Chain A
Amino acid sequence: MTFRIKPIMLKVAAAAWLLGATSAMADTTLEFTQWWEPELPAGSLRKIMDDFEAANPGIKVTLVSGPYAATRDQISVGAATGTLSDVVGLDGAWVNNLNAQNALADMNPMMDASKFDKAQVADIIKVDGKAVMFPVASFVYPVFVNLDLAAQAGVTKLPSTRAEFLEAAKKMTHADKNQYGWVLPLSLQSPSGVQNDMMSWVWASGQSMMADGKPALDGKPVVDMLTFVKSLNDAGTISPGIATKTEQEKVEEFVNDRVGMMVDSLAHVNLIRKRNPKLNFDIIPVPVVEGYTGKRGLPYASWGIGISAGSKHQEEAWKLVQYLMSEKVNAKLVSLANAFPGNVNAKPDFVTSDKAFGKAFEIFKTGYLANEFTGLPVAEDLMTQFDVEAQKMLAGEQSPEQAAANAQKGWTAKF
C-alpha cells in the first residue's frame, strides 16, 4: 500500500509544481470594471481590448460590465473590501469618496516614469494632489432647440443670452396645447438635473459655484441662476411635474414636440432621431448672462478611468490606461460612444459626417469642459440637498436667496 501511495503522491506533487510554474509564466490578467460595454455597440469594447492584448503580449483583460448604478455599487463595495478591479471606470462624482478610502492609485508617478505627455489629455482629475482619474470620453450638455416650435412661435434668432432664452421660452409656451418652452427634471431619484440643467447655466457664463475649493452657493452666480430659473417657472414656461421628472422623461417630452428647448447630453442625439425621425432640431451653447463674451464652460458627464491602489498589476494597468487615452484608440472609442475625446488630439469621425455633432464639436472646441461636481465629496448628496432647496423655491416656499443660503449651509457641513 505504501509503495502504491508514494508514486501517486510524487505525481501529484510534480503536477502541482508544474501547474504553479505554468501559472507563474502565464499572462497577467487585468480586471476592468466599467459600465461602458453595455452602452457601446455589442462587442466593440471587447474588440478594443483584443487589440490591446495583441499590442501587449502577456497581458489579458477581463471585462466586468454592468449597468451604471450596479457598477457604482460594485465599485463602492470593492473599495471597502479591498477587492476593487485593477482598472475601474469612474464617474467624477465618485472619486472623492473612493480617494477617501485610499482605493485609487496616484497616477502621477506612472505618468512620470513612462514620460506620458500630460498635454495630450483634456483633463486630469486630482484629489489631494493625487491624479486619480482621466476622462476618457466626455458627453457634453448643450441646449437642444425644436426648430419647428421655434418657427411657429416666431423665434427667428436662437437665444444666446438668458434674457433671450426667457423670451423664446415664453413665446414657445402654449399650456392649452401641452406645449412648453423649457423642461427641468428635478427628480430626487436621480438629482443630476441640478448639475446638468441648473448649474450648467452658471458654468456657461464662466462662473463658479465654488470659491477657494469651498461652496459659494450664496454668491451672485448661483443666486442669479436660481432667480432666472424662478422667472422661467413664474412665467409658466416650464413643463409641469418638475419635482418628479427624470432625464429620460425630459428627452421624451422633447422628442414628442411638447417642449421647445432642453439642456441635454449630446449622447442622446441618435436616440432623439430614432424616436422621432421627423423632429427638426438644432444645438446651441447654453445661453449666458447679459454682456458675457468670454469662453463658455460646457457642462459634461464623463466616462473616467482610474487604477486600483490595491492592484498587483499597476504597471500593466497603466499600460491599458495609456492605450485608451492614446490619440487613435481614444478617437475610435469616442466615435463608438458619440462622445468627445479625452485626448485633445483625437478627432472622432462623427463630427465630420454628422452636422449636429459637427456643430457641437465646434462649441466644444471654443469652450471648456466644466463640471464642478467632479471630485467633490458625496457629490450626489450635494445635488440632492440643492435639489430640495430648489424645489422649495419653485413651490413658492422660499426666495432664490433663501434657497441658495440654505443649500450653502447644508453643503458647508459636508466639506
Chain B
Amino acid sequence: MTRQKRSRHRLKRTVAPYLYLSPSLVIIGLLMLLPMVAVISYSFQNSAVLRRDPSFAGLKHYQAIFADPVFWASLWHTLYFTCMSVIFHMTIGMIFALMLNSDRINPTLRNILRVLYILPWLFTAVIIAVIWRLLLEPNGVVNSILMQLGIIGSKIEWFSSPETALHAVTFANIWAGYPLFMVSLLAGLQGIPKDFYEAADIDGAKAYQKLIFITIPQLMPIIISISLLDFIWTMQVFPLIWITTGGGPIYSTEVLSTYTYKLAFSSYNLSQASASAVVILLISLGLTLFYIRYQKAR
C-alpha cells in the first residue's frame, strides 16, 4: 500500500464516524442548540423578537429580573415545589414498590394494586389539573369528606387561598409523579439477589435492618439517578400549575415557568422572558452536569 493510499484510508477511518453521526448532529443542532442560542441572544437584546432591528441591551434584562421580588418568590416556590415533589415521589414510590415486590401480598391483589398505583402516570398534566381542581374546589369532594369527618369546620379554598395553594399544587404533582419512582424501584428491587436476604436471615437481621443495609444501598444508584431526573423535570412543570392556579392567588404559586410565560405572553417582554428562561436553563444545566458526572463516576 502506498503512503498516499494509507493516508487516505486513515482519513476515511477518522471521518466515517462523524459522517454516521451527522444526521443526529444536524437534528440536535437545529432542534436544540439553535433555539437555545436564539433565546440566549434574545436575553441580551432590547425588544427581542418584537422588532426587526433590536439593539444590544447588555445585562439589563438580567438586572431587571433579579431586582424583581416576584422572580425571587418564584424561585423559592420552584425550589419548594420541586424538593417536596421529589422527596415524596421517592418516599411513596419506595413504599409502593416494596409493597408490590412483597411475597406477603396475594398475587391477585398485587396485580390489581399494580394497575391502580400506576394510574396517575397515564393521565396528561391537563387531566390531572382538571381532576384536582374538581376535587379541591370549595364545594368539592375533599372538603365534603373532611367536613363530614369533622376534620375541618368550614370549606377550605385549597387553590384560591394564598396559605394553601402552593401545598395543594405540590400535592397534585406528588400524586401525578410517584409512579416513575415506583416502576424504577420495583425493577431495581427485582434485580437484588435473593442470597443477600437469605444471608441476612441467617444472621438474624430484622426487616428494617434488611431495608437499611441491603435494599436501600442496592437501590441507591437508581434513587440518585431518578431523583436527579425528577428534579430537572419537576423544576420545569408548567401546565399543572398554570391550569390549577395560573400562578395565583396573588403570587403564591408563581414558579419560574409561569413567571417566564407571563413575561413572554402577557407582558410581551420577550427579552426579559428570555433572561428568565436562561436562568432556568442554567439551573437545569447545573443539575444535568451533576447527573452526567454521577453517571460517569458509576
Contacts and interface: CB of A to CB of B under 8 A. Distances in A.
A395 B246 contact: no
Interface stretch (A116-124, A143-151, A241-249, A294-302): A241-249
Given A82-B52, A101-B50, A384-B262, A244 B268 contact: no
B267 A378 contact: yes
A391 B265 contact: no
Interface string A334-366: 000000000000000000000000000000000
A189 B159 contact: no
A392 interface: yes
B188 interface: no
A240 interface: yes
A406 B266 CA distance: 19
B253 to A, nearest CB: 9
Nearest to A243: B249
B162 A187 contact: no
A380 B249 CA distance: 17
Contacts of B51: 80, 101
Q: Is the interface of B mostly helix, strand, loop or mixed?
A: loop
Interface in B21-77: 49-52
Given A80-B49, A101-B50, A240-B160, A380 B246 contact: no
A381 interface: yes
A219 to B, nearest CB: 24
Interface in A163-221: 178, 186-190
Interface residues of A, number: 32
A297 B251 CA distance: 32
A100 interface: yes
Given A80-B50, A380-B266, A241 B250 contact: no
B50 A244 contact: no
Contacts of A97: 50, 268
Contacts of B52: 80, 82
Contacts of B135: none
B243 interface: yes
A186 B247 CA distance: 12
Interface string A57-77: 000000000000000010011
B245 interface: yes
Nearest to A246: B246
Nearest to B254: A188
A388 B251 CA distance: 8
A378 B268 contact: yes
Nearest to A178: B139
B266 A378 contact: yes
B159 A244 contact: yes
A244 B262 CA distance: 16
Interface string B145-164: 00000000001010111100
B171 to A, nearest CB: 15
Nearest to A242: B160
Contact of A241 (B160, B247, B251): B160
B248 interface: yes
Given A378-B267, A384-B266, A189 B249 contact: no
Contact of B243 (A76, A189, A258, A397): A189
Given A80-B50, A82-B52, A241 B266 contact: no
Nearest to B155: A240
Contacts of A381: 262, 266-268
Sort A-B residue pairs by CB-CB distance and give the 9 closest, nearest first.
Answer: A189-B246, A243-B249, A188-B246, A188-B248, A240-B138, A243-B160, A381-B267, A241-B160, A244-B159
Given A187-B245, A241-B157, A244-B249, 12 more contacts: A82-B52, A178-B139, A188-B245, A240-B138, A243-B165, A243-B248, A244-B159, A244-B165, A381-B266, A387-B248, A388-B248, A395-B249
21 contacts: A80-B49, A80-B52, A97-B268, A100-B50, A188-B246, A189-B247, A190-B246, A240-B139, A243-B159, A243-B249, A243-B250, A244-B133, A244-B159, A244-B244, A244-B248, A245-B160, A378-B268, A384-B266, A391-B248, A391-B249, A395-B161
